Amino acid sequence: MPCDWFWGRTIDCWFRHPRWRAPPFLWFATRWRGPCSEGGSCRWAPSRRCWAGRSSFSCFAEASKAGRHPGPGFDEGGRPVNDVSEGVSTEPEALGFESVAARLGGRGVLNGVSFKVGLGEVVGLLGCNGAGKTSLVRAATRSLRPDSGRVTLGGLPVQSLTRRALAARVATVPQDVHVPFPFRAGELVLMGRTPHQSSFGFESASDLAIAREAMERVGIADLADRPVDRLSGGERQLVLFARALTQQPDWLLLDEPTAFLDLRHRIDLFGVVREFAESGGGALVVSHDLGLAARVCDRLVVLAEGKVLAEGEPRDVLRPEILDRAFGMAADIFDGPDGRPVVVARLAGDRVRRRLAPDYSGPDC
């Protein structure tokens, strides 16, 4: 359902409504009124009588009876076609990348990347610096528009969704975020409830409880009253992770979430991600920690030069020849106590000698 007050929808209604005659200074007066009792789609109506004495405008009912379509972006009943709650797609619920290609600064960063992240699984995204991992996360959140291919959410292109609908289903934890205003940690976490509120709404008791639970789950409840600009890098990263959980999304996109964390907090964070997947969510985790990724992730996707080099279970992906091509390093692979692979990189001197060899053709990480 659209938000109660939203300028974009109001302006759309001005052009599409068959009986809209209010002057521009009354655009703000329209708000959501629910389904039409006349069989139409009275989605939008003024909140009160206007100054000119006009009564509330019915909606799309007259247009439907006259055989006129409400306009682009709406179905025959006047419902937004990009409302993911309508269930217009019959494809399995998944975050899909379909032949995604993109360029930044004239350089190709993604070259035909294709894979899916389903609900109930954790997928690890590996690759050396500049392989295209962050660009792929940005494409999923519409921060980067692909030159070709598409990113889908439950079969629907993410470009067809409103930002509010996308934010209600996908939460992102970036590598780092600059917060220009000294918000308190609790306030920043509570912002995760924004997609579930009206544009000018206030947080409810339920929103506060959800934010508090997320902070306790991550272990930062004691940081709630501290300004974000006075937190360490690791503490700030945990605050962003708690904010993502507060959104109650279907998918988590985590871009190196453990970069500033110590070993204990890395294990705790990955444990929460694992619990999130077991409760029915999906997660895409960008990580350079191959050992933790192997223990937590159901599948691994390795990128090299903007392409998918390997995809599959950790045992099938973490192999010496694949790591050599992806990272340009020699590594030894052992079986851990749980049967999952353990990666031990060889000394840097061996790697430097290999890269100086005339026949070296690996990545320039």
Residue 3: per-residue pLDDT: 42
Band of residue 2 on the pLDDT scale cut at 50, 70, 90? very low
Question: Measuring CA to CA, which residue among 307, 342, 347 is closest to residue 329?
Answer: 347
* More reliable by pLDDT, 12 or 55: 12
- 192-204, pLDDT tens digit by residue? 999 998 777 788 8
Write out pLDDT tens, residues 177-190.
777 788 999 999 99
134, pLDDT greater than 90: yes
Q: What is the DSSP string of 194-231?
A: GGGS-TT----HHHHHHHHHHHHHHT-GGGTTSBGGGS
SS3 190: helix
Indicate left, alpha or beta for 293 from its phi (over 0: left) and psi (-120 to 50: alpha): alpha
Given a cut of 90, is residue 235 above it in pLDDT? Answer: yes
Query: Which domains are assigned to the chain?
Result: 7-81 (no CATH), 94-181+248-356 (3.40.50.300)
* C-alpha gyration radius of the chain: 24
The SS3 assignment for 114 reads strand
Question: What's phi and psi for 297, nearest 5 deg?
Answer: -85, 145
Average the pLDDT over 172-179 and give the result: 84
Q: Which has the minimum average pLDDT: 92-96, 111-115, 169-173, 276-280? A: 92-96
Please state, for a pLDDT cut of 90, what percent of the chain lies above it.
56
Q: Say which amino acid occupies 210.
A: I
Q: For residue range 270-282, list pLDDT tens digits in order.
A: 999 999 999 999 9
Comparison of pLDDT for 152 and 175, the residue scoring more: 152
359 band by pLDDT with thresholds 50, 70 and 90: low
Q: Between these two residues, 122 and 229, which has the higher pLDDT value? A: 122
pLDDT exceeds cutoff 60 at 352: no
Given a cut of 90, whether residue 50 has pLDDT beyond it is no
What pLDDT sits at residue 356? 54
